Structure 1
Amino acid sequence: MFKKFDLTQFGTTVKQEVLAGIVSFFSVSYILFVNPSILAQVGVPAEYSVFSTIFVAAIGTFLMGVMANAPLVMAPGMGENAFFAFTLVAGLGLTWQEGLAAVVVTGVLFVLVAFLGIMTLFSESIPKELKQAITIGIGLFLILIGLENMGILIDRQIYFNWIGLAGLILVVILKKLNVKGGFLIAILLTTVLYWLVNRQSFEPISFDLTALAGYPELLSAPDYSRFLDFEFWLGVFSLLMLLIFETIGMLEAFIPDQKRTNQGYKVGAISGLLSGLLGTSPAIPVAESGAGIAEGGKTGLTAVTVSGLFLLSIVITPFLSYIPSEAVGPVIVVTGGSMIIGNLNIKVKTIVEWIPLLLIILLIPLTGSIVEGMAYGFIAFPIVKMLTGEKQDTNKVLWIISLLFLLTLISTFLIN
């Protein structure tokens, strides 16, 4: 039954993979509440989009497990739902139904790019030092997300939240002791501590399963009436660039095996297309997948476990509201730290060559956008190489990637 995942080859066990899957699910479960609330701001019915969020996450994550044998979670990304609401709809003036049509068209193009091997070509043309910089940048990004969840960092201000700090200390101790399932234990113990202190505010989020009967309304919602409009295609181009480069960034950061990465690109493309068809913003490999990987997840069995939990969440969503952000934040912080430590051996020939790497490392967390942070670094990289007489370290594909990033920044400027 589990032979497909090559557990022995990867030095893992069913128990380890399942525990990692549970940790990954808890780390990303907030998206079940946040995604519908963001889309609702532009008119997408939240009572229905919660189901589209669950379905695309369950299907996409399952495909990532069986097709790519990778321990990554697919779910509507926070940057992608914000792009849908505030760029496609609010910025370009599309209705939310026309926005879903743009997501579907983008998904079709994404599938072509992935299955024609273009993303693989892009990935193979990116120098190792840029890939390491992306991983460190995502690690810093995760630390910021974790600190915000812990209640330590709010609106760029530092606050004292002793529950979040207690959770972080617990995570560090359990990791230091190499306790199996340490992340999950820390999440559960911190959750108990939180509710012992906050008994008066014990109010679960309501979730009406009867709304599932109205969900098919989203399946027929995409409106292609503005297919020939400039605004429609400007949105499609920007979203396609966002999906391509964020998917590359995530997979390069978490999966060192090129074969699995190549399959992961195809899964990402399929999930992006399914997102629009199922009625939500695009799904991507989410950064919180790193929590399950740090817990020991190494194969697709971790992803399949998460997929099953997403499906189960149709009926257990109210119980997920009991898990406070303070319980998940510490796990995300430690995961980000591990990603940084594992990539501190970047080698460059001259001090000037640090410029594009630092742009990526610093701007990913500072802008809150993996793609925007990557863009400035990738644009600067070939220029710096030319100026330092290291033109041989670049290639035609890398120049094309840099040009696409430049066009992405220009399109963002036009939209805003």
Structure 2
Amino acid sequence: MKGVFKLKQHGTNLKKEVVAGLTAFFSIVYIIAVNGSILQDAGIPLEAGIIATVLASLVGCFLVAFIANAPLIIVPGMGINALFTYTIVGSMGLNYMEALGAVIISGILFVIVAFTKLSTILSRAIPTSLKESISVGIGLFIAFIGLQKSGIIVGNPTNFVALGNLASPVVLASLINLVITLFLFLKKVPGNFLISIILGTIVSYFFGLVRFSGIDSGLVSFTEYKDVFLSVDFGKIATIPFWTAAFSLVLVLVFENIGLLHSQVDGMLKAPEKNGKSLKAVSISTIVCGLFGTSPSVSTVETAAGITAGGRTGLTSVVTGLLFLASLFFMPLIKMVPATAIAPILIIIGGLMLTNIVNIDFTDFTEAFPAFLVIIMIPLTYSIVDGIAFGFIAYPLVKLFTNKKQQLSLSIYIISFLFLTNFLLHSVG
């Protein structure tokens, strides 16, 4: 292991890498229950979604370990899973098997981008205001989903949404769990989200929302998962919604991962030579996710926990990946986690993603208005794709209206035209 990952050359040792891997795992382990819950909303059975999440995380961590020798956490990402479930499946008319087909196509396109100079070209061509607004809009969307799952926000025939019944057991449990999660998070308690899930499940039990008596003590069952594994359906590959889904996934994956890897590999690790290899590993993992039955993976922000703990090589990622595999033995407990324990995490993650708004130049209205449209339309249309479309269509218009066409790239024109064409075809249909 020392020779494979060149521990001595990286100024680290086996003990440091193992500790970093453990730290990284406990900072991100919440994704197993949270992603499984979101995939369930797409029609994927809960246990199958959990297994898919675990296997995708295992392979993702191994890919970045052996391709880039970097201590990154590659797991199905928050935000992109909301795009998969609530937009592609929920709004665009694809079932989860067809959506997995779009994931694989997006993975192939992502690989092409990662293995060529296209990643650099696209990163430079898309304005910062639009890239950052996508993260902010998705953050609001995730928080909105969390508020719905908690019962704090409910549907209303007159106002569309309204405040839920604060006296109901679901809302009370969610609010108590939100306070607990906030406390642990702000106090920077190691493994805060994992601890909050455990405590949140216990709190929910006292409100009658969890039953421990029904725990299955048996080992993990792959009965449901065999119907999800390799269940990809390309039946709608010739349709506009399918390619809109694939294109949208690529757009979010490319920009999210380029931004994350820049801060993690270049900034924290001070190893820019590993950036390109890491992006290649993440792109390959996207295809793997489609085959395994889950939304795409990203290099998560929790990677910082492992690096801060001393992780410097891919051995950290290997340890994290193996711990994900071991988590399958706790499947009965993971399946018990209620929405009231997951919702607070979604709300807080949404709040964290909102911080990207400081990178948008609101002093220039031609930058601010398209970004505003993306941010506001993603949650209001309940569609990440439609929200992005409004911003990308508006961007060239406001620049042309103010004689700033020199700030427009060919890529912006093409992307805007594709989004506009999609809107027109949907309206005609």
Normalising by structure 2, what TM-score?
Answer: 0.72
- Where do residues 79-158 of structure 1 align in structure 2 (5 Å cutoff)? 79-81=83-85, 104-105=104-105, 107-155=107-155, 156-158=161-163
Q: Deviations over 1:296-345 (max 9, x none)?
A: 87778886666445423433211112333322322332232233245335
CA contact (8 A) 1:360 1:373 kept: yes
Aligned AA (1:373):
G
Which range moved further: 307-316 or 208-217?
A: 208-217
Q: 3-state DSSP class of the match of 2:28?
A: helix
**Selected match of 1:162 from 143, 167, 172:** 172
**Selected match of 1:74 from 58, 76, 94:** 76
CA contact (8 A) 1:18 1:301 kept: no
**Selected match of 1:239 from 215, 235, 245:** 245
Give the 3 Å change call, closer, same or farther, for CA 328–14 of structure 1 in structure 2.
Answer: farther
Equivalent-residue separation in structure 2 for 1:247 and 1:29 (angstroms): 22
Please name the residue that 2:269 is paired with: none
Give the 3 Å change call, closer, same or farther, for CA 318–210 of structure 1 in structure 2.
Answer: closer
Q: 3-state DSSP class of the match of 2:238?
A: helix
- Where do residues 2-401 of structure 1 align in structure 2 (5 Å cutoff)? 18-32=22-36, 35=39, 38-39=42-43, 51-63=51-63, 67=68, 69-74=71-76, 77-81=81-85, 104-105=104-105, 107-155=107-155, 156-159=161-164, 160=166, 161-198=171-208, 201-202=211-212, 204=214, 212=222, 232=238, 234=240, 236-251=242-257, 254-257=260-263, 263=277, 265-278=279-292, 280=293, 282-285=295-298, 289=300, 292=302, 307-341=321-355, 343-344=357-358, 346-401=360-415
Q: Deviations over 1:152-193 (max 9, x none)?
A: 123333222222222222333344444444444433333322
Equivalent-residue separation in structure 1 for 2:342 and 2:233 (angstroms): 38
Q: 3-state DSSP class of the match of 2:30?
A: helix
Deviation at 1:29, TM superposition (A): 1.8
Give the 3 Å change call, closer, same or farther, for CA 183–371 of structure 1 in structure 2.
Answer: same
Give the 3 Å change call, closer, same or farther, for CA 338–116 of structure 1 in structure 2.
Answer: same
Identity of aligned residues (%): 28
CA contact (8 A) 2:49 2:294 kept: no
Give the 3 Å change call, closer, same or farther, for CA 84–199 of structure 1 in structure 2.
Answer: closer
Aligned AA (2:200):
T
Q: 3-state DSSP class of the match of 1:165?
A: helix
Deviation at 1:411, TM superposition (A): 5.8
Count of residues in Structure 1 that have an aligned counterpart in Structure 2 = 396
CA contact (8 A) 2:133 2:374 kept: yes
Give the 3 Å change call, closer, same or farther, for CA 342–203 of structure 1 in structure 2.
Answer: farther
Aligned AA (2:123):
S
Equivalent-residue separation in structure 2 for 1:32 and 1:392 (angstroms): 46
Give the 3 Å change call, closer, same or farther, for CA 105–363 of structure 1 in structure 2.
Answer: closer
Equivalent-residue separation in structure 2 for 1:95 and 1:190 (angstroms): 29
Equivalent-residue separation in structure 2 for 1:132 and 1:84 (angstroms): 21
Give the 3 Å change call, closer, same or farther, for CA 101–329 of structure 1 in structure 2.
Answer: closer
Equivalent-residue separation in structure 1 for 2:142 and 2:227 (angstroms): 35
Aligned AA (1:379):
I
Give the 3 Å change call, closer, same or farther, for CA 244–194 of structure 1 in structure 2.
Answer: same
Aligned AA (1:131):
K
Deviation at 1:33, TM superposition (A): 5.2
Deviation at 1:389, TM superposition (A): 1.9
Normalising by structure 1, what TM-score?
Answer: 0.74
CA contact (8 A) 1:136 1:361 kept: yes
CA contact (8 A) 1:143 1:333 kept: yes
Q: Deviations over 1:266-306 (max 9, x none)?
A: 3443233224444x3542439xx55x469787778886666
Equivalent-residue separation in structure 2 for 1:223 and 1:134 (angstroms): 28
Aligned AA (2:296):
A
CA contact (8 A) 2:86 2:383 kept: no
Deviation at 1:210, TM superposition (A): 7.8
Equivalent-residue separation in structure 2 for 1:55 and 1:48 (angstroms): 11
Aligned AA (1:400):
I
Deviation at 1:69, TM superposition (A): 4.6
Equivalent-residue separation in structure 1 for 2:185 and 2:223 (angstroms): 44
Equivalent-residue separation in structure 1 for 2:316 and 2:260 (angstroms): 14
